[in-house]
Chains A and B, each alone.
Chain A
């Protein structure tokens, strides 16, 4: 977190403090820190096939759909840390940082894009030589991505609220940065009948396909509804749900449409866009 964001949080809390003098808060506590896990069922991402691809199962690349019968991912997890301050019974300001992890389809490349490897891989599963050109493609294990969100937010309660306790509606607009996690992913050659043969790192590595320094920025517009149920004078059980709209900002570098990075970007942007809802569960500590 850079200095600007720290300054922003402090500014929000100072403004909040100035307005909250005539408000007792929850047993006199108006500020809170919240740690939540967020999880979602990526229905739309599944529907539009963002979550297919290949998993690394014991050193073998296995198609996701071979196991589940469909390219479905059942859960996506993330972590959300927020700090806020109630300035009135039914109004609070805050800032949240969230980190959302999931895997996207690995980039696939046509075989003929990959120069210099045919001699090493032009054999079939029985070890027979395969004549060039050959129908197949380079496949990549699913890539882990991390979306970080930095978001100032406003909370409000309908009825006669008593923030930070109780039912609260949250609205925020934040910046998202999605990056790829560099790792020792498996790469393979997929033949027409779906047999995948791993390609040794010495021959061809993931960094040859993907530029891990490229990060994708976006905006997130969020509305959430949460219940903070008190477990004690200094602890809430917090649960709820949030709706998000993640849109990409900036055009980024122009990429060749058949390049691996183009494919990675496509899946990141699509996954972000289709990540519309998640459930939150965690604890909040008022002070």
Chain B
């Protein structure tokens, strides 16, 4: 009995542990042992592939070409930090795959299913037996059965070796006419084949016949947000923030996707054709159909889909798609109104929009006018319409309100403080420009004023006194939103949107401090003498070093094998140079992943996301999307300084053959020109760019960043000396 109780307790604790707390949502991370797919170097994989001698691809040259093309493309994705294994979503995908692969034990062992954190709804398989499913696709699904059919489809691509066949076909057809058209036809045939085969696999698993065809609807409309729910302007307004109705469109924006879209040059057949063919296959089949939409349970599906939707918000913030993020948050808040995670992301979205707007990049965060579709178009429409001043008001208003309601939350507090820095930085926010009355109060006072005009003559006297003031005061007064003589202008609604902030002394102090700090920084920047290393002098000697990005070009473009070997050499150079200078570093690269496993992988993924966010933005310093988690890394590594490095190298001597040609005509200059020009150019042929970027994950700011150009080769000592130099300057203060 006692044992039974213990088992029950363990089961309950596991069940409780597996439930996701969406109110305090934490982005999903990889779990369990790190698969070899992530730790093995690409050239090792290629060597293994060549040993297998896959004759179906052709000769050794063709095999090598295939392995290089696919190997590096897949590994680029595997190393990007957006692929997950062992997490709740990947586990779920694996569990659904097990249902689909019922009775196919060998295939079950062969295949690996990974989740990709991306808002693009997609699934694809590789010749290596890896099947990737994006969170964007999961977020769009309405049943487990739909996922089952998608997995079955991808499994069929793998079992039928479509990737390899496609490669062989492309090689054979590369010089033919209308290559693209033929490729499209060929590709569509393979898609039909996979659809037809998947039907049987899906049926055998026991999923619903009716649900199958709805999968194609998911694919057709996956470019839209994950729900089509009407959003009201009231979502953005409050009693302190009046919004005029004309901010929202007076019409609905139609959805343009058609089932019978032209697919002449498309890799996939249109949905109508896919539905027809799949239906025909279903009808032709003789097996019995069961009627299950959820073999693993609806609750689990909803939970997994919610995770994918929360991840969708995160990805939107990371990519700067702030309008989409706001709409998705609106949808999710209906189910999770108390989610602090959504509040944080909402504050981040408004902060990002403010930064984009002030730097003239607002339109990067919204859809084009011609692309406005569905319910979310209202949000895009409104943001497109807002002026810089209006966006500033919206952002301050919302971030302020979120902060006031969640003062204890460290991330929201950090966003709030970051906002002041940005307000000071763009130099066009002045609280004095705003009315001390809300729109409603101003409206009431105006009414009172008009009434008093009719009954009280004392106003006339006041006016007379005012008239004696200077013309400048008069102009200012006439423009003031608080001037009761003016009609209330709804187009100036935003001027009444921050009335309560006038009474918040802390707000005023924070903005004054930020402005003073900015002025001091400007003065310092003006005085600072130019030094190519001054941008990296930050007085730091403790870093987390993320795996360097290395690119080695050969005459035919990127040489992936050399690039990968360069990465190993450069990683060694970083470690050695830091050791020599006594700089503490913690390197997170593919070799450390093999030793330290999933923890290191997750740290690396997190930092890669930070880098992605920073490098994605050219004009602003974004607030770190994963602020709460990245901050934990600071404690873990005793530093918040994360170093990213990029090295690209090419050896391309610029020999001007024309010089040599001319010199031959003017003998005896030829020997002199040849013997001096060629050796000199050979010596100068190395072109190496080394970029160093140090991100402070506590503040989310790039604290050091510079690119250096060298004529050196990329030998071990060259690289070590360069990094020694960089670590030296990083440890100095200007």
Contacts and interface: CB of A to CB of B under 8 A. Distances in A.
Interface stretch (B185-193, B422-430, B562-570, B713-721): B713-721
Given A27-B580, A41-B671, A162 B725 contact: yes
Contacts of A136: none
Interface string A222-239: 000101011111000001
A170 to B, nearest CB: 13
Contacts of B381: none
A230 B718 contact: yes
Nearest to A43: B671
B672 A277 contact: yes
Interface size class, chain B: 20 to 34
Contacts of B721: 26-27, 162, 165, 230
A74 interface: no
Per DSSP, chain B at the interface is: helix
A243 B722 CA distance: 29
A141 B668 CA distance: 28
Chain B CB within 10 Å — which of A27, A158, A231, A241 has the most? A27
Given A160-B708, A225-B680, A27 B671 contact: no
Interface string A46-74: 01000000000000000000000000000
B683 interface: yes
Contact of B710 (A22, A43, A160, A239): A160
Contacts of A28: 724
Contacts of A277: 672, 675-676
A76 to B, nearest CB: 14
A77 interface: no
A166 B690 CA distance: 15
A27 to B, nearest CB: 6
A161 to B, nearest CB: 8
A162 B725 CA distance: 8
Interface in A11-35: 22, 24, 26-28
Contacts of B671: 41, 43
Contact of B713 (A27, A229, A240): A229
Interface size class, chain A: 20 to 34
A9 to B, nearest CB: 26
Interface string B540-568: 00000000000000000000000000000
A101 to B, nearest CB: 21
Contacts of A225: 680, 683-684
B730 to A, nearest CB: 11
A86 to B, nearest CB: 11
B132 interface: no
Contacts of B532: 89, 160
A229 B709 contact: no
A167 interface: yes
A166 B676 contact: no
Contacts of B709: 159-160
Contacts of A47: 668
B679 interface: yes
A21 B216 CA distance: 69
B679 A279 contact: yes
22 contacts: A24-B724, A24-B725, A24-B728, A27-B580, A27-B720, A43-B671, A159-B710, A160-B532, A160-B708, A161-B710, A162-B712, A165-B712, A165-B721, A166-B711, A167-B683, A225-B680, A229-B712, A229-B713, A230-B718, A240-B683, A243-B676, A276-B672
The 8 closest A-B pairs by CB, nearest first: A230-B717, A160-B708, A24-B728, A167-B711, A159-B709, A166-B712, A227-B683, A43-B671
Interface of B: 532-533, 580, 668, 671-672, 675-676, 679-680, 683-684, 708-713, 715, 717-718, 720-722, 724-725, 728-729, 732
